[in-house]
Amino acid sequence: MGDVILTMKDIDKSFPGVHALDHVNFEVKRGEVHALMGENGAGKSTLMKVLTGIYTKDSGTITYEGKETEFHNTREAQDAGVVIVHQELNMLGHLTVAQNIFIGREFKTGIRIDDKKMNDEAKKLFDRLHIDIDPTETMSNLTVGKQQMCEIAKAISHEAKVIIFDEPSAALTEAEIEELFKIIRDLRKQNLGIVYISHRMDEIKVITDRVTVMRDGTYVGTLITNECTKDDIINMMVGRVIYEDPKTESAVPENAPVVLKVEHLHAGKMVQDVSFELRKGEILGFSGLMGAGRTETARAIFGADPKESGDIYINGQKVTINNPQDAVKCGIGYLSEDRKRYGIVVQKTVAENSTMACLENYMSGLFINKKAEKKVAEEYVESLATKTPSVEQLVVNLSGGNQQKVVIAKWLINDCDILIFDEPTRGIDVGAKNEIYKLMSRLADEGKSIIMISSEMTEILRMSDRIVVMCEGRKTGEVKIEEATQEVIMNLATRDIN
Amino acid sequence: MKKKSSIFTSQKFIVLLVVIVLFTFFSIVSPNFRQYSTMMSILNYSYYIVLMSIGVTFPLITGGVDLSIGTGLICYSLAGGYLITQKGWPVAAGLLVTVLLGVAIGVFNGVLVAFMDLPPFLTTLCTCMITRGLGSVFSKGLGISWPAANEAGGWFRSIFRITTANNTMIPIGFVLMVIIVALMAFVLNHTRIGRYTIAIGSNKEATRLSGVNVKFYHTMAYVISGFFAGLAAVAYSAVFATVQPGTGAGFELEAIGGAIIGGVSAAGGVGSVEGSFIGVFVICLLKTGLPFIGLQANWQQIITGLVLIGAVMVDIIKKKRVEVH
Amino acid sequence: MKKKVLTSLLCVAMAATMVVGCGSKEADTPTDTPAEGEGEETPEEPAEGEEPAEGEDEEPAEGETAGGDYHFEIIVKSYQSSYWQAAVKGVEQAADELGVTVECTGPNNESDIADQVQMLNSAINKDGVNGIGLAACDQSACLDALQTAMDKGIPVVCFDSGIPDAPEGSVLSTVATDNYGAGATAAENLYAGLKDKIAAATAPVRIGEVNQEATSESIINRGLGFIDKFAELAKADGKTVAVIGNEKYVNDTKAETVAEAEADIIIEVRVPAQTTVELCSTEASTIMGQADTIGMFGSNQVAAEGILTANEMLNVLGSDPETSILAAGFDAGKVIKGAITGGTMYGAVTQSPLAMGITTVQTLYAIANGEAVEDVPTEGYWYNAENMEDDSIAPNLYD
Amino acid sequence: MEKIKQHPIVKKLGFNRIVLCAVLILMYILFSLTSKGFAGLPRILSALNYAYFLGFLSLGVTFVIATGGIDFSIGPVMFCAALVSGFCLTSHGMPVVLCLVISILVGFLFGCFNGYLVAYWTVPPFIVSMASMNIAKGLASVFTKTQSVSWPQAAEAAGWFRKIVKVGNFPVGLVIFIVAAVICSLLLNNTRAGRYILSLGSNKEAVRLSGVNVRKWEMLAYVICGTLVGIAAIFYVAAYTTVQPGYGDQYNNEAIAGCVMGGTSMAGGLASIGGTVIGVFIISLLQEGILAIGINKNYQLVITGLIVIVAVYADVVARRRKN
């Protein structure tokens, strides 16, 4: 670890009605990986946006390479060597890899863009990172992991001195994360300062040297990773210890009735011959790497995507599910991994979202019975402890965890017995996560059956009664919770890859 | 993975095939259609749509649209013609004004869309109304006749065609179009303006975060569209001479329709100048060819509408098939 | 001298028709006279048309002192063609002479019927309007408004196009061309030019007619007048005629027709989808591109210009029937005048929009002064390269 | 300002709509002051004539825009409906009632066509509009043989249908239009159809995954639009008698402008029937007023265009501030 390359001191930033950053301090040294942690809305991204010139700070100083600096836009920051690898992939799907990497600073001969030189340069970059990607490939044809690699290549190509990774692992498979870490370590060796923003505690321990924790726009403290425990960090983040013990035995009796049975389901490349059973009151974990076909399986069961073959039985009865309507009629509810896109209607109120799936029950004649609608929505706001000023609040104004609860309410109001939770805690902060876990346990206790798709091993081990593992579109194993360990699952999840 | 690009080329190829098939069909059915002079008139009638279509390809690729080019064309032509015929300006100056007005409206659209974040559809719908009104305001509601070919100021009319002594026509307009298409294809594929046009259509925010001056380049797409509407106004004036205020609505749909038939995606990010160029000829051939096989004008509209839907449906079906496999 | 006698005779006849009254149909008579003779006459011609024209001019001149400053609203069909610009010029000219104020409006194009009705209503509802001059885009759309005008006591004078079904007493006078006759005039002259060729033809020949639309009475009448007259003349020479193309014209023609396959002369009528030059020219080039076409007729300025535009590509028009297609146009304007001078267009029928404009204001003025007025029919005159400069024709050839 | 916005009555009525109303009233006062004889019933009646058919077009397109789509075939479809039904009346002698039904039916069928292609075939609405615009124009001219159609006059026996516009000087049309607007408002805000139309405009996939048949409801929006366009056709002929084939596009812009001016978002999900009604009134008053003060109609187009740009920009700014 070398000298300090970047210091942010007393950074203050307000938006109308929100004090987003309250005198925050942060520094990065050459050759270190510095984690920046905090719950959602703690101000991590805002801080980085201030750094790279997307926002202008209200007060405070930024010292970069010994000089006080202020970047006015991303371009200036890039040119100086401060680069962000974004959380959402910022890919231009219609352009090639090389064109993406050099967007904004193409090589030119006259006014003509020199694509050949760009391809060569990109190739060199990939060689340096030991990645095998064809620079002339169209971006949208790459896997998410490969796209992330391109983003990193792009960052490095700026002669970066400080690279900021904003939740880089969120969309990556375990294998890809390994590869990413290899690259990060490589970069550290090259004496770059690296900022690593992540929610995943395991990764922080593995890859980072120091951890800075933020809470509610304030700076909480900086720790040396090796010298602290997970609980230390979590305590700093939330101010309370979180229960995180794995479940040891299934709460579901062996003879509990099978509510959902899927046989030989085929749907495209990602769902190949998947069969499993779900029992009453059970939480069935679906584990596997990103791109293993879990979401696709769920969507196929739910009728959201077309399936080619396979039978679905509900309570022993064979059913035909061709579209989500059929699924809803069968009492299946689906909470998507991407809430904003597939879960909520942001411009509608809590009440309107809650009754979305079963509006026909809240009609009086031709018209919507708004009173009844409001009443039932309020009921569920209360029972799920959704934090909202009223059920007439627009959902867009709620936090991620509360939005998730609104989606859950939607399915509970519809009286669904089978709930598919697809990454229920993605992008939700630690405190809210816990609430969602409790809620799921409670629902299972009440006799609902839950399929939980999760990429977080701890989540799987903590919640599931039984675990189905998938890999490359196939079911590779089924593990009882009593026998489940990280190693067993990982083994199944990667079986086909190696 | 390389497959995708071959679909692209084949899309253009299919449209080209359609053009050839249509042409052959009309030639076989109607002997009058095969004449050299008919072909010349098809070409002549196509120039202004071709030019508009080249221009509008850019906003379309950014994921926007420019609906103001049709009424704009008439507006610019009226203004330029008014200055020449009523105010005695030299023709060259009038032509310059025509094109510059196009650029000005392009800048106006671009600023509204790129800098003020207005939805392109609505913005250009408004400028469509505005130019429609402005055209009449400029010319005081009068129709304008540009100088005839044999008059003093008529030289500009031979920009697009030369008639030789023995009465054969040389369609230099078509040669010009090919050159312009080649030029704009180069701009789209090998210069920053083109690259960023595609990038904006692909993912505007990502382009912005890459340090590209998105607002500028987004504006440029509309400026190009406006500039070409201005050029189209020159072509229109040169071919038809008489310009009437209050017309022009509907030209833009032919141009956009041509571009879309030629493979520009209405969602943005995908498209090519040469595709639009070929696509326009599908529309032009229908427009000119159908009367030759004895159909009244009204049938052309129905068939053009159906062809447009058909072209997009084929694309959708193709995409669906790609998704399944 | 012979001509002069004829002219004065005709002027007397004209004056008689005006006195006799509304039946503007009677005005068919003058159009039946031979082409050369007819081209020479005009009631507005100051030297010779003294009696009727001056008579009208003088009355208002006296009224100027009596009547005070009247305000008239003039609504034209559009400003699209120079035809209307000439009419407006006439209106303004007359207004200056009479010391009245006028305000001219008109929709963007001749198909904006709703806009024109709004404009009419607006004119009626204005304060201090002493009369309205109206060139209606549509015969029926204005009827309600005319009723209102009558209820409010505002006199209306129609020009260019009449409104046959107007409420009794609302339209006090109509100043309009006899369009059927004007169409027939074009047919006579075109037929005269093509007569030898038709007589000598062994295979069927084709005559094209481009009409801007199949909607307004004036254009339909011109088109039908042309078809009927042409067919009549052809029949007199023992030829059979087929009319094909737009169904309105095919169905409404009074001419005796035969099937297309049997006909010696095929009259093909085309109507574009919208009234714009480029669509008219597409339709025209379709006909002109056919090898058997020998004659063309465009029934208004836009259609005639469309034919000329088409010709710029095809180069088939000319003044020699043996080598080229003869084209007859309608109305004037720089483009058509240039084409006629240059020999591309055989000739055209012009109306007298300037006179129409003048007469309209004069009539309104007379009404405002409490005088009784009658319908004023105006004529269509054949003109070609030879008689364009004539004093009788030149004033009606607007730019 | 914020305080005013937060006042319960203001909130209930909607701040934007109050501003729009104020604009409308101001415009009326301005025109009355600058043009003698503008104030008074005849002017208002004349402006209303224009507002009726435009209003029905606007109401219709509001539903489509609410889904995040667009329909700019409405003008030509209106003309097509009026032409086809009018031709049945004048040339085939069908009874008036039947012809009115035919008019609505034509609109309805075009709505089905557009809706089916958009919802079930996922053809972009923009392209569907472009196509059906051509088809409507072409069909109308083919049907009527490129002739215009004049509906019966008020005085004629068959002219009774004109009473839907006014009886004597009483604007019946206004009553019908307001009733229609109230029904549309109920439909949009208080029924399942409206709820789903708005929701799918905001997030179609989320609504689909809630087990809602989004295709059906999306198509319904276009069908409602088409039906209202069919009704607009009746009001058009009742006020202006004659329809000509090949036209109608000029009304698209004004109808969409009225709708957007009223606060309906082009992005979908947000729509206000009340706003649309006021927007339409503003446009028709502007048209009438501009004629009255003796300016060319062309300026109305320019001004309407500018007003819409300003209105939308205000909306964009407001939304930006919220985020």
Please list, residue by residue across C80-117, b when 16 or more beta carbons sit within 10 angstroms of its beta carbon and e when fewer do.
Answer: bbbbbbbbbbbbbebbebbbbebebbbbbbbbbbbbbb
For an interface test with A, the pick among D196, D209, D323 (most A C-beta atoms closer than 10 Å) comes out as D209
- How many other CB atoms sit within 10 Å of the CB of residue C178? 26
Residue C97 has pLDDT above 70, yes or no: yes
- DSSP state, residue C343: T
Are C176 and C161 contacting, i.e. CB atoms less than 8 angstroms apart? yes
Nearest-Cα residue of chain B relative to residue D312: B118
Measured in degrees and rounded to the nearest 5, phi and psi for residue B74 equal -65, -40
Nearest-Cα residue of chain D relative to residue C148: D42
pLDDT score for D2: 62
Indicate yes or no: CB of B203 within 8 angstroms of CB of A93.
yes
Owner of token pair 């096989």 = B293
ipTM: 0.78
Owner of token pair 């012979």 = C2
Q: What percent of chain D has pLDDT over 70?
A: 94
Residues of chain B positioned with their CB less than 8 A from the CB of D304: 126, 129
Chains in touch with D (3+ beta-carbon pairs under 8 Å) read: A, B, C
- pLDDT-based confidence at residue A297 (cuts at 50, 70, 90): very high
Residue A184 has pLDDT above 50, yes or no: yes
Across the range D199-206, mean pLDDT stands at 91
Residue B29 included in any domain: no
Residue A44 has, within 13 A of its CA and on its CB side, a CA count of 27
Residue B26 included in any domain: no
DSSP characters over C32-54: TS-HHHHHT--TT-TTT-IIIII
Chains A and C physically touch (3 or more Cβ atom pairs below 8 Å): no
CATH number of D40-311: 1.10.3470
Across the range A99-110, mean pLDDT stands at 87
Chain segment B269-290, per-residue pLDDT in tens: 889 999 999 999 998 888 878 8
Indicate yes or no: CB of B199 within 8 angstroms of CB of A112.
no
3-class secondary structure, C263: coil
Query: D95: distance to nearest CA of chain B, Å?
Result: 27
Out of B32, B41, B245, closest to residue C310 by CB: B41
- pLDDT-based confidence at residue B228 (cuts at 50, 70, 90): very high
As a 3-state breakdown, chain B gives helix, strand, coil percent values, each rounded to 5, of 75, 0, 20
3-class secondary structure, B294: coil
Nearest-Cα residue of chain D relative to residue B115: D313
Chains in touch with A (3+ beta-carbon pairs under 8 Å) read: B, D
- pLDDT-based confidence at residue D43 (cuts at 50, 70, 90): confident
Indicate yes or no: CB of D296 within 8 angstroms of CB of C247.
no
Residue B293 included in any domain: yes
Go through the domains of chain A in sequence order and give each one's CATH number: 4-238 (3.40.50.300), 258-493 (3.40.50.300)
Token reading at A270: 């990602």
Out of D134, D250, D312, closest to residue B305 by CB: D134
pLDDT score for C322: 86
Radius of gyration of chain A (CA): 24
Q: Which of A253-257, A374-378, D86-90 is predicted least confidently? A: A253-257
Q: In whole angstroms, give the CA distance from residue B296 to residue B277.
A: 26
Token reading at D104: 């609505």
- pLDDT-based confidence at residue C18 (cuts at 50, 70, 90): very low
pLDDT score for B291: 77
Residue C24 has pLDDT above 90, yes or no: no
Token reading at D164: 């839907």
pLDDT score for C35: 39
Are A285 and A491 contacting, i.e. CB atoms less than 8 angstroms apart? no
- DSSP state, residue C396: G
Nearest-Cα residue of chain D relative to residue B308: D131
Chain segment B107-117, per-residue pLDDT in tens: 999 999 999 98
**Crossing angle of the two packed helices B297-324 and C277-288, in degrees rounded to 10:** 100
Residue A179 has pLDDT above 60, yes or no: yes
Give the pTM.
Answer: 0.82
Most confident of A356-365, A417-426, B61-70, C2-11: B61-70
Residue C391 has pLDDT above 90, yes or no: no
Nearest-Cα residue of chain C relative to residue B135: C108
Q: Ramachandran region of residue C238, left (φ > 0), alpha (ψ -120 to 50) or beta?
A: left
Beta strands at C293-298 and C326-330: parallel, antiparallel or unpaired: parallel
**Greater model confidence, A212 or C80:** A212
Indicate yes or no: CB of A368 within 8 angstroms of CB of D192.
yes
pLDDT score for A244: 60
pLDDT score for D59: 97
- pLDDT-based confidence at residue C15 (cuts at 50, 70, 90): very low
**Greater model confidence, D292 or C11:** D292
Q: Which of A180-184, B185-189, D6-10 is predicted least confidently? A: D6-10
Residue A222 has, within 13 A of its CA and on its CB side, a CA count of 12
Residue C63 has pLDDT above 80, yes or no: no
Mean pLDDT of chain D: 88
Q: In whole angstroms, give the CA distance from residue D272 to residue D94.
A: 38
Q: In whole angstroms, give the CA distance from residue C366 to residue D120.
A: 66
Q: In whole angstroms, give the CA distance from residue C94 to residue C92.
A: 5
Across the range A136-150, mean pLDDT stands at 83
**Greater model confidence, C214 or B87:** B87
Q: In whole angstroms, give the CA distance from residue A387 to residue A407.
A: 13
Residue C59 has pLDDT above 50, yes or no: no
Residue B155 included in any domain: yes
Indicate yes or no: CB of C107 within 8 angstroms of CB of D36.
no
Token reading at C19: 């006195």
The type of residue at A185 is R
pLDDT score for D312: 83
Residue A129 has pLDDT above 60, yes or no: yes
C-alpha angle C351/C356/C360, rounded to 5°?
A: 160
Q: What percent of chain C has pLDDT over 90?
A: 25
Indicate yes or no: CB of A108 within 8 angstroms of CB of B203.
no
Query: C289: distance to nearest CA of chain B, Å?
Result: 6
Domain that holds residue B184: 44-324
Q: In whole angstroms, give the CA distance from residue C195 to residue C326.
A: 12
Give the domain CATH number at B85.
1.10.3470
Are A408 and A439 contacting, i.e. CB atoms less than 8 angstroms apart? yes
Chain segment C241-274, per-residue pLDDT in tens: 999 888 888 888 888 888 888 889 999 998 887 7
Residues of chain C positioned with their CB less than 8 A from the CB of B135: none
Token reading at D301: 């187009």
Indicate yes or no: CB of D309 within 8 angstroms of CB of B123.
yes
Go through the domains of chain C in sequence order and give each one's CATH number: 2-177+351-396 (3.40.50.2300), 179-350 (3.40.50.2300)
Query: A93: distance to nearest CA of chain B, Å?
Result: 6
- pLDDT-based confidence at residue A40 (cuts at 50, 70, 90): low
- DSSP state, residue A256: P
Residue B39 included in any domain: no
pLDDT score for C42: 39
Are A232 and A37 contacting, i.e. CB atoms less than 8 angstroms apart? no
Query: B5: distance to nearest CA of chain C, Å?
Result: 38
Indicate yes or no: CB of C118 within 8 angstroms of CB of D250.
no
Residue B114 included in any domain: yes
Chain segment B290-309, per-residue pLDDT in tens: 877 777 767 888 888 888 88
Q: In whole angstroms, give the CA distance from residue C296 to residue C287.
A: 9
For an interface test with B, the pick among D244, D270, D301, D317 (most B C-beta atoms closer than 10 Å) comes out as D301
Indicate yes or no: CB of D148 within 8 angstroms of CB of C119.
no
Across the range A75-93, mean pLDDT stands at 80
Residue B248 included in any domain: yes
Residue A150 has pLDDT above 70, yes or no: yes
Nearest-Cα residue of chain A relative to residue D270: A347
Beta strands at C171-177 and C265-270: parallel, antiparallel or unpaired: unpaired
Across the range A459-468, mean pLDDT stands at 90
Most confident of A34-38, C353-357, D101-105: D101-105
Q: Ramachandran region of residue D263, left (φ > 0), alpha (ψ -120 to 50) or beta?
A: left
Across the range D173-199, mean pLDDT stands at 94
Across the range A427-436, mean pLDDT stands at 78
pLDDT score for D116: 96
Residue C56 has pLDDT above 60, yes or no: no
Cα distances (Å, whole numbers) of residue A253 to A10, A245, A445, A484: 57, 21, 12, 18
Measured in degrees and rounded to the nearest 5, phi and psi for residue C74 equal -115, 130
Across the range A314-332, mean pLDDT stands at 92
Radius of gyration of chain B (CA): 20
pLDDT score for D11: 67
Helix ranges restricted to H, B30-90: 36-61, 69-85
Residue C36 has pLDDT above 50, yes or no: no
Residue A178 has pLDDT above 70, yes or no: yes
Residue A74 has, within 13 A of its CA and on its CB side, a CA count of 24
3-class secondary structure, C158: strand
- What is the number of domains present in chain B? 1
**Greater model confidence, A279 or A341:** A279
Out of B1, B196, B210, closest to residue A137 by CB: B1
- pLDDT-based confidence at residue D280 (cuts at 50, 70, 90): very high
Chains A and D physically touch (3 or more Cβ atom pairs below 8 Å): yes
Domain ranges of chain D: 40-311
pLDDT score for A252: 82
Residue A255 has pLDDT above 80, yes or no: yes
- pLDDT-based confidence at residue D4 (cuts at 50, 70, 90): low
Indicate yes or no: CB of A92 within 8 angstroms of CB of B191.
no
Nearest to A214 by CA among A46, A39, A429, A61: A39
**Greater model confidence, A99 or A87:** A99
pLDDT score for B57: 96
- Identify the bridge partners of residue A15 per DSSP, sorted by sequence position: A18
Cα distances (Å, whole numbers) of residue B38 to B136, B168, B237, C316, C317: 33, 12, 20, 12, 15
For an interface test with B, the pick among A87, A103, A157 (most B C-beta atoms closer than 10 Å) comes out as A103
Mean pLDDT of chain C: 79
Residue B28 included in any domain: no
